[in-house]
Structure 1
Amino acid sequence: MAPMIGEVLALSLMAFALGMDAFSVGLGMGMFKLRLRQIFKIGITIGIFHVWMPLLGIAAGKFLSNQFGAIAGYIGGVLLLVLGLQMILASFQKEESRFITPVGFGLLFFALSVSLDSFSVGLTLGIYGAKTILVLICFGGVATILTWIGLFIGRKVQGWIGTYSETLGGSILLVFGIQLLLPF
């Protein structure tokens, strides 16, 4: 039972880290007058993408693990390190106005862009044999909730929180990458 609790906690932290991207962008998007129906639809769409992208990653990771064995484990750790560093560095760059309207293809593009990193993490989790259903529930649920929170807060405040949330998410992934490369 204790290993299961540890896995749920680790997956929840990873899901939180990955969802911070959606939260951050949701803050900015929430500053536009969105109806509650739009907010609901945006959160659900991002949650669905945060289920499918890691599922694809897990499938690819399991394949790589079967083909390359131990080397695949190091690749997974390096992927998390790179992804974490990229998120941290991106949080310090000045944002150009890259707003895409959250309707139709714009919503699909937005959902895909904030869930691409969950493919990479899914790849790593597939290599390490994480429980697929648990990953998908954690990633999809947390991404949906963080998106909704970001959109609602964005309706109330300015976007200064976004930079810090992306830095926090990147730091969490960085720590997991280090832990995978240097097991304690």
Structure 2
Amino acid sequence: MLETSVQTGQLAAILMMAVALGLDAFSLGIGVGMKGVRLRHVLGIGLMTALFHMLMPLLGLIFGRYVGALLGEITGIAAGGLLVLLGGHMIWNSFQQGESRPVNHTTLLGMLLFSLSVSIDSFSVGVSLGMFNSHAALIVNAFGIVGGLMSICGLLLGRKAASRLGEYGELAGGAILLLFGLMFIF
């Protein structure tokens, strides 16, 4: 009875962490979705985010015993810096008329940047869990599924909001990314 209770508690804790990490993907997905993405790109970004939400904590679990204390602050600053750059770039692009836009979230590079930016904190969580927990398969799968689904939901919600915001959607999306990046840093 006690063992079942402990296992249920561990599962609940893993799912809560997966949702907490997925909230980044959800909220940043809203910002990117406001820029305007097609449904097939929503699926591509969601799948890439799910993959990174599995890969990053897996790497964190592997390195958890060696670098846990060192990476706590570094990953938050790196994630924040990347989001500030992406958000600033989107804001800058919103004021450019008719020029080419080098960062496009529908390209492979854009999807990689988005997925990495929302998944990098999963690495530090994986590092922490690697020191205490041995349920690697459960952690990796839960983080991947929840992160991917929350990313898709955020992108779809942002896409819907973009149709109402018109040309200001990219500016608003960039501002959201910039604010979240600053929150990570400070």
TM-score clears 0.5: yes
- The residue number in structure 2 matching 1:105 is 109
Q: Which moved more, 1:23-32 or 1:142-151?
A: 23-32
Find the residue that maps to 1:34 and give its secondary structure: coil
Question: Between Structure 1 and Structure 2, whose CA radius of gyration is higher?
Answer: 2
- The residue number in structure 1 matching 2:144 is 140
- The residue number in structure 2 matching 1:24 is 27
- How far 1:114 sits from its partner (Å)? 1.3
| Cα distance in 1 between the residues matched to 2:122 and 2:20 | 10
The answer (yes or no) to whether the contact 1:54–1:121 under 8 Å persists in 2 is: yes
* Structure (1 or 2) with the greater helix fraction: 2
Aligned residue among 4, 7, 19 for 2:7: 4
- The residue number in structure 1 matching 2:38 is 35
The answer (yes or no) to whether the contact 2:75–2:121 under 8 Å persists in 1 is: no
Segments of structure 2 that go 5 or more residues without pairing to the other structure are 92-102, 163-171
- The residue number in structure 2 matching 1:152 is 156
| Cα distance in 2 between the residues matched to 1:2 and 1:84 | 33
| Cα distance in 1 between the residues matched to 2:153 and 2:43 | 11
Aligned residue among 81, 88, 91 for 1:96: 88
Which amino acid letter does the alignment assign opposite residue 107 of structure 1? M
Find the residue that maps to 1:101 and give its secondary structure: coil
Instruction: State the number of aligned residues.
Output: 153
CA deviations over 1:90-125 (Å, ceiling 9, x no partner)? 9xx9x5344742211121122112111101110000
| Cα distance in 1 between the residues matched to 2:89 and 2:125 | 28
The answer (yes or no) to whether the contact 1:54–1:119 under 8 Å persists in 2 is: yes
| Cα distance in 1 between the residues matched to 2:75 and 2:21 | 10
Distance 1:104-1:97 versus aligned 2 partners, 3 A rule: same
TM-score calculated relative to the size of structure 1: 0.69
| Cα distance in 1 between the residues matched to 2:149 and 2:160 | 17
Which amino acid letter does the alignment assign opposite residue 101 of structure 1? N
TM-score calculated relative to the size of structure 2: 0.68
Identity %, equivalent residues: 35
Superposition CA RMSD, Å: 3.4
